[in-house]
Amino acid sequence: MQNRFSLKGKIALVTGGTYGIGMAMAKALGKAGAKIMFNARRDEMVKKAEEDYKKDGLEAYGYVCDVTKENQVKAMVADISSKHGDIDILVNNAGIIKRIPAVEMTLEEYKEVIDIDLIGPFIVAKAVAPAMIKKGAGKIINICSMMSELGRETVTAYAAAKGGLKMLTKNLACEWGEFNIQVNGIGPGYIATPQTAPLRENGHPFNNFIINKTPAARWGTPEDLEGPVIFLASNASDFVNGHILYVDGGILAYIGKQP
């Protein structure tokens, strides 16, 4: 049974793997046997992350690549294929959020979130799919969100992107399932990373709000996503397709603690 979860000999690309959820998932995939490829936009962060992976004894190769730039993505995928082999596992993790009331958000701000969080995953999936189709196997995991299902004030662009990412996941699953490519999503709950730091720190009321909305009564950690990503990246999930696995401590099941 353990072999079902082994990633030995696999090439995994995790976008946005320089810190946060992406790095945690990439390290998990590496510890399960995969060779890690990762990318982000800032060269200094890519270099720092490579050192971090090495400290954990993991073989990881970083690329400075913006997921919204198709030419950069194609060049990265081609370089990985020529130096290491075709990508077996793609985790579309790179993403941003802008917390701005819709009426105040500029069109440029809205488009930037959609570009990175929804168009980026399409660009990268489209770049890795031909080799997966040729091989007759592949795993694509899109990192969705609570906002793939729920809304809240100030995150309109992000919710639109993550809602779209849920349906992109389901539709690619339909289109590529016959080639033995499983396309699924992970929907993390509220996870303690730099992205959510403004909501947790300096006594922000959102901190207790989320703890009261979560049956697990805590914020998630990036490490909480290690098992789910190994499951969806491994043969253990070969008949799971078009599924969004929510790793949220129960938020989506809960009306919230009685006052």
The set of catalytic residues is 158
The residue type of 103 is V
- Asked if 62 contacts 46 with a C-beta cutoff of 8 angstroms, the reply is yes
Nearest residue to 166 (alpha-carbon basis) of 121, 216, 210: 121
Quick note: the x/- pattern for ligand NAP over 154-193, rule CB under 6 A, is: ----------------------------------x-xx-x
Q: What's the min distance (Å) between Cβ of 208 and ligand NAP?
A: 16
The binder of ligand NAP chosen from 156, 169, 196, 241 (CB under 6 A): 196
Residue whose CB is less far from ligand NAP, 23 or 173: 23
Q: What are phi and psi of 13, to 5 degrees?
A: -110, 125
Q: Which of 22, 163, 189, 228 binds ligand GCO (CB under 6 A)?
A: 189
**CA dihedral for 114, 108, 19, 199, sign (positive or negative):** negative
From 20-28, 31-39, 62-70, 145-153, give the range in contact with ligand GCO by CB under 6 A: 145-153
Q: Which of 99, 126, 135, 218 binds ligand GCO (CB under 6 A)?
A: 99
142 interacts with ligand NAP by CB under 6 A: no
Q: Which helix (H) or strand (E) holds 188?
A: strand 181-188
Among 68, 145, 182, 237, the residue binding ligand GCO under the rule CB under 6 A is: 145
Using CA atoms, how far apart are residues 252 and 60, in angstroms rounded to an integer?
34
* Residue 97 touching ligand GCO (CB under 6 A): yes
Sheet holding 60-64, edge to edge: 60-64, 35-40, 11-15, 89-92, 138-143, 181-188, 244-247
Grouping H, G, I as helix, E, B as strand and the rest as coil, residue 29 is: helix
Per-residue contact string for residues 14-43; x = within reach of ligand NAP by CB under 6 A: -xx-xxxxx----------------xxxx-
What CA–CA distances, in Å, run from 145 to 116, 150, 190, 220, 245? 14, 9, 9, 13, 10
Choose among ligand NAP, ligand GCO, none what residue 99 binds, the Cβ cut-off being 5 to 8 Å by kind. Answer: ligand GCO
Cβ-based nearer residue to ligand GCO, 47 or 152: 152
**Nearer to ligand GCO among residue 72 and residue 195 (C-beta):** 195
Per-residue x/- marks for ligand GCO, 105-144, CB under 6 A? Answer: ----------------------------------------
Out of 196, 214, 237, 241, the residue judged to bind ligand GCO by CB under 6 A: 196
Q: Whole-angstrom Cα distance, residue 222 to residue 159?
A: 21
DSSP string, 29-73: HHHTTPEEEEEES-HHHHHHHHHHHHHTT--EEEEE--TT-HHHH
CA–CA distance, 85 with 137 (Å, rounded to integer)? 14
- The CA distance from 241 to 139, in Å, is 10
Binding site for ligand NAP (CB under 6 A): 15-16, 18-22, 39-42, 45, 66-68, 93-96, 116, 120, 143, 145, 188, 190-191, 193-196
